[in-house]
Structures are given as structure tokens and as C-alpha cells.
A and B are shown apart, each in its own frame.
Chain A
Amino acid sequence: MTSQARASRGPRFSGRRLAEDTATYVVLSVVLLIMMTPILWLILTSIRPLVEIASTRLILVPRRLVLDNYLAVFRDYEMAAYLQNTLLVCGGVIATNMVIGPPAAYAMSRYRFRGEKAVLFGLVFMRMIPLVAVILPLFIIFSTLRLLNSYAALIIAHTAFKLPVTIWLLRAFIADLPRELDDSARVDGASPLGVIVRIVIPLIKPGLAATAVLAFLATWNDLLVTLVLSNTIKTEMVALGLTKFVLEYGVAWGPLTAAGVLMFIPTVVFVFIAERYLVRGLTMGAVKE
């Protein structure tokens, strides 16, 4: 019926339809180009020779390709250490979230219990509070425990910051599973933990992947936690590393943009992987896709 309706509408509207489509492409392309400009300019700057970086004249395409900046970030700056520290912390945060998150999410989606509402609201609240309000007392606590400048402090802090989103997102994925699946397993005498490990986790692998990606990106992108909790090269993460390209006599834009491109690569990769699940993750399930 719809195809019929479309067919009958077709001849009258096709000319207009074409014009509308063209307009859509033009407008979206212009908006997209503006939105992409900072990223394109970052990439272009990172491969320019120094004379072009320090130019007041607009030069769109670099006259020659230069990779010195990429060598410099490893040779003259501590980019390798920043990347290594960040990957270690991210790995730790993903691991803890993947172990602690699913049981909590399962409890939230499959049980009715006293205090459920409070936990739900609490998780949303914890996702929304300004981090700076938590990071000041955390600084005091971790310095009393002598845990400043340790991977442990960074992993513990980030784990807690990411858990609310992890639980909410996994909860939505578990809610999508047919209840009979785990109910029948529970009737057969499996413990809740057994059901989670053997039945739920294999079925929500895409959800786990999306959750891991979001936890990774949030940790990878973070500045405030590493800024407050670490001040030695042993634990500084890549976002803080970028600020080290701001030198006393000015900003080393060539190496900085190269480091920026390196930092941006995982973002691009993961956006393409997890794009489908982003809405749920970013809104804590408030908007379904």
C-alpha cells in the first residue's frame, strides 16, 4: 500500500523530491565541513613544515609532507609514556567495569527489591554531579592513603566514575533479553551468578563491547582526574600529556598537533564500532534508539 501511495505520488513530486534531496546534501555537507574543520586543521598542521605552521598567510594544502612532528613527540617529549600509562589505566578500568558491572545490571533489571528506586536515582545523580566536587576530597583521601601518583588511584577513581553509565547501559541490554531464558535456568537450580556468567553475558556481548568502548573513551579523554591525582611522568595520562607541549616561550604547535592526531585515532576507530549504542550510553537509557 505504501509503495502504491508512493507510486501515485511519484510523478507529481519527483521533481520537487530531487530538489529537496539536493538541498539536503548541500546543507548537510556545508555543516559537516564546518564541523570537521578543527579536526582537518589539526591533521593538516601536524604534517606541515615549520615555516607553514608559523605563517600569517592562509595555506590550505601543505606544500610538502613532513613527519618530523610525529618523530618529535616520541623523541623530544614523553608521548610513549603518556600512551602507555593511559592504555594501562584504560585496561584496568574496562576490566573492573566488566567484572563489577554485569551482576549489578542484572540485579537492577531482573529483581524488584527495596531501595531499587534510590539506587536508580543515585546512579543518575552520580553520573551528573560535577567531577570537581568529588575530585577535591578524593585528592585529600588519596594523599592521606599515599596513593597519589599511582595506577591504583587512577583506576579506582575512573572505575567508580564509569560504573553508573556501565550499569545503566547493561541494564537496558539485559532488559531486552527474554525473561524465560534466565528464569528457566534459575528453576533448574542455577545460582544468579551462574546465570549471569553462562547465559546473560554471552547474549549481551554487543552491549558489553559498547560499554567497554564508552568506558575506554571517557577514561582516555579525561583530564581532571589525572591532573589532580598525578604529577609525575610515571602516571600522567595522554590528556595531561598534551598540556606539556605548552612551553614557557609558547606552544609547540607542530608536535602538539601530531600528539593530538595520535590521541584522536582511538576515538575515530571506536565511533565506527559503537556508534549504534551511543545514544543509550550517553543518555543513561533516557532516550532509546
Chain B
Amino acid sequence: MAGPAENRIIGIESGRERVTLRSRLDAWQARYAPYWLLLPALGIIGAVLLYPLVHALYISFLDYKLARSARPFVGLGNYIEAFTSASFGTVLAQNIIFAVVCILVEFTVAMSAALLLNRQFRGRAIYRVFFLLPMLTAPVLAGFNWRWIFNDRFGLMNQIFIAVGLPPQAWLVEPNLARLSIVIATVWQGIPFVMILLLAGLQALPQPPFEAAIVDGATAWQRLRLLTLPLLRPVIAVALALRIIDLFRVFDVIYIMTLGGPGHATELLPFYIYRAAFSQSQFGLASALSWITVFITIVLLIPLFLNERSGAESEKLNT
């Protein structure tokens, strides 16, 4: 007779025990769940991105040449060599000018296109999709496309020049024309990127201020200058920051079109670093140059984070 009752009590007790164990496990899980969910991702990012980056910092203090086993510590030697060499100064200045020129062209064209694409008209979706194609074209392919168009003998550009009676040009041989060619190939891919961001921003703008402005008789130019651009400022900041960072990462187009030449005329930082490492086998110097570029990236990222924070704050205020 005591059996079932005993069993019942034991059952309850063990059940209770299970509950406490379970809740303890739950508490443990809830506390550490985000960490073990993130672990595989952070593990692989840490091993393949973060560790090499730190390793590069270490190498940047060594006189590291691939063919030689002795790798003496040289302190800031590689950084001093970088900043005292004439070519690095040229390439750095060139990359900055390149970024400024590209971003100005890209923003102007992209803003105009975005304003037009923001209008309601039939077939807008088709235009939009086709506009995106250059951005997603492989940079290698973009490089070859333009190298072919700028080919000095059989290229489309010179065929057009001859057709309209102009003398053909040595596009990729004459320094300034080569620079122009590189800029064209780069903005060709950059314009759609900036455009689609600005268009997304335009479509998210609140409508009432614009309706009120129309009622008040503001001209289209006034609406653009006094309403659209100020309201769009956060999106413009993100678009420009992302794009400028990318303009310090341009490699493929240079590798395909000019190999940095003639001379250093079209050489940009990533290709300069690549050449230091794999042509001159100067891994220490290349790592120092890499870290200078990483530092530039960090500086360029600051406005993006400030923007992100103010965005998050305004989001909080809204809710």
C-alpha cells in the first residue's frame, strides 16, 4: 500500500530536482548562449582575419624577406623607410587625389540619377536593375572591359576618335590619360553603388515637408537644397564613407589595366603593397605599409561610427 505513495513522493522529488537542474541549465544557457552561438563565426574570423592582421603588425617590425631565414628586429625601421621613400609619398598622395576625384564624380552623377529614379514613372524598376550591373561586375572583368575600350590600336575609344576625325590617343601609356582611364573604370563601378544608397535614402524621406514646401511655392532647386540634401545627410555620410574606404582598396582594376604604370603614374596603395611583398619580397616593409593603410581605414571609419551612434539615438527617441 505504501508503494504507490512512496513512488509518488519520489516522483515529485526527482521531478523537482529535474526542474532545478533544468532551470540552472537554462540560466547557464541564457547567460552564455550568445557566446557559444557566436563562437564558430568569431573563431574563424579571428583565425583568418584578426590573427593575420596582428601577425602583420609583428612582421612590420622585422626585416622580413621571404627568401632569407634571418629576420632581425628593426623596430620602426620599415615605417621610417616607408615615409622616407619618394615612391610611397607619391603613391599615398596619388591615392588620396584619386579618392577625391572619384568620389566627386560618383556623387554628382549618382545623386542626379537617384533624383531622377526617385520620380514615379513607368519602367523605373528596369532602369534600376540595369544601373546595378556595373557595380556587381567582377572588378577584373571591369578592368579588362576598359582596357579593351582604351586599347591604343583597336579600342572603341580610338575607333570613335578616328571616326569623328580626332587623332587616336595612347590612353594607357600617357600618364595623365592612364590616370583618367583608371578613374573612369573605377567610377563606372562606384556610381551604381552610391546611387542605390542615395535612392534608398530618398525613398525613406518623410513626405509632409515636401508637400508643405510645394504648397508654399518652393522651387525644385530650393526643395533640393533646403530639404532633400539636409534630410539625406546621414545617408550621404554613410555612402561617402563606405565608398572612400573602398577607394583605398582598389587593386584589381590597377592590376589588370596598368600594373601601376607608366612608372608609378597609376599606382595606388594596395597594388604598391602587393608589389613590395611579391615582386620585391619585402614582407616587413609591405606589412608596415599595410598597417599604414589599416590606420587610414580606421580614421575613415570614425564618421561612420559617429553617424551610427546618432542614428541609434534618434531611433531610440522615436520609440
Contacts and interface: CB of A to CB of B under 8 A. Distances in A.
Nearest to B32: A113
A210 interface: no
B38 A119 contact: yes
B301 A107 contact: no
B193 A282 contact: yes
A107 B305 contact: no
B137 interface: yes
Given A55-B159, A131-B270, 4 more contacts: A55-B154, A133-B294, A141-B52, A221-B141
A201 interface: no
* Interface size range of chain A in the complex: 35 or more
B205 interface: no
A133 B270 CA distance: 8
B309 to A, nearest CB: 10
B121 to A, nearest CB: 6
A164 B238 CA distance: 18
A196 B36 CA distance: 13
Interface in B39-55: 40-42, 44-45, 47-53, 55
B287 A136 contact: yes
Contact of B129 (A56, A57, A193, A275): A275
Interface string B154-170: 10101110110000100
A271 B283 CA distance: 38
B134 interface: yes
B33 interface: yes
Interface string A107-149: 1100101001001011111101111111011111100000000
B56 A137 contact: yes
State the majority secondary structure of interface residues on B.
Answer: helix
B52 A134 contact: yes
A242 B144 contact: yes
Given A161-B49, A289-B203, A124 B130 contact: no
A160 B273 contact: no
Interface of B: 29, 33-35, 37-38, 40-42, 44-45, 47-53, 55-56, 59, 109, 113, 116-117, 119, 121, 127-134, 136-142, 144-149, 151, 153-154, 156, 158-160, 162-163, 168, 188, 191-193, 196-197, 200-201, 203-204, 235, 238-239, 242, 245, 248-249, 251-252, 255-256, 269-270, 273-274, 277-278, 283, 286-287, 290-291, 293-294, 297-298, 301, 304-305, 307-308
Contacts of A224: 251-252, 274
Interface of A: 20-21, 24-25, 27-28, 31-32, 35-39, 41-42, 45, 53-58, 96, 99-101, 103-104, 106-108, 111, 113, 116, 119, 121-126, 128-134, 136-141, 156-157, 159-161, 163-164, 167, 191-193, 196, 217, 220-221, 223-224, 227-228, 239, 242-243, 251, 253, 256-257, 260, 263-264, 267-268, 270-272, 275, 278-279, 282-283, 286-289
